Chains A and B, each alone.
Chain A
């Protein structure tokens, strides 16, 4: 199922409610393999909910979600299959604080993929070096800066060899001087052809890396397009208003 005609992610009429609140209403989105999509929109617009439905961290209430041709049908098997091809990076890193960075990176490969310790560690060291924190491998997350922690979290995800990376506001919890190092890591990843779906307010990153910007408001996709077109000529009032608020 890896031929290029199968979309990396396909959302059709996806609905999600939290009690009476419609977090997502009738969301349709196709993302091709290798595509880089930035999702933006005001707070509470459903961006995070959308991305969290893709790897079933949130369960959608209606519509269909397929990832790499695997339909999420609530069965444990489909969830596991989808999670085996997706990686996720969280706003608050969510590293395991009681494990060293290296242990963070080897836990899933060893327990889920049954890799030997030696293999898992070799792979982890390679990826940690790639995100330029190979020298921090034996430290605990609490001893690292925010930027280093987020890069460790990216490496941890990559250790599971995902085909699709989901980023949920990866730089929002970082001090300004650390945003750049994380964005650089993400750009490098984009350069390698990884499919990336990224909820972010980093418009510079969107301009430089994204193939497409998706603008959401109140649980719906309001408009989408190439970044240059979206930023210079947004179609909807909401998007214009949003852009005027975030671009200083």
Chain B
């Protein structure tokens, strides 16, 4: 008797629970897709099209019912997220949202690292590393620690020195103080110019990639745009003959070569130049050795060395010494590669280390 009563109570409780849940459950044929980071739900079930075609109030009611069901599902998902009370026990319930997953385009392209300055490029090539300098140095005269630069610097401000040495071989009448001031001014101006040049180069470098499909993004070079527009204009079946023209464009469609006409030397005139040109051509043809473009060869060599160094670095960790040290270690290898080809240009005395050769090029 008692057992029956317990079962009945349990069944009643279960029914009550189901009744409670019924108010918040929604049946859908296809599951919704959620992106809780964006508070987003996507319902792929086709809505009842025929019913929605009906009169205004009925359609509104249908839309609202659909929205209610979908919102219920989304809110149930959000309530399932891990939540905590913000600011102690009495605070509002705050749910931790996951990261948004729906792929959306960015507003701007990702930031690019600043391209290295001219000096940084050179220093990398030569393996020059930055040395840390202390800001305080010992001043021998003042017998105390002073700043390396700036106000009250060690050794005193050179521009305020009361004595200036006349270098050997200089004009004794020349004002040495004025010379020092002028040189300083020139150095400052040159530094500023180089800084601006580096900035401009960095600014241009962002778009320097020759884009085969030109995207309307980033900074665009004027010449690049002109080139792309020209190519686009003549890239039709009629080679651009029937393309509409811009107001200032010439009527003739530009040729593929960019509107540059072939230029020939005048038939009569500079005989000496013609003679030397022909002679040079003949000499090149007659010689057994290939013609060497020194600048190109040197650049190639440099690039090769850099690539080798990079490959060597990739395997092991960055070694402590720079590239210069490594190059000194194996001079034979680097000179062997180019030595044979470079022989005619080179004096026998110059067969030493890599540094000297480069200067010559």
Do A and B associate with each other?
Answer: no
Instruction: List A residues at the B interface (Cβ < 8 Å).
Output: none
Instruction: List B residues at the A interface (Cβ < 8 Å).
Output: none
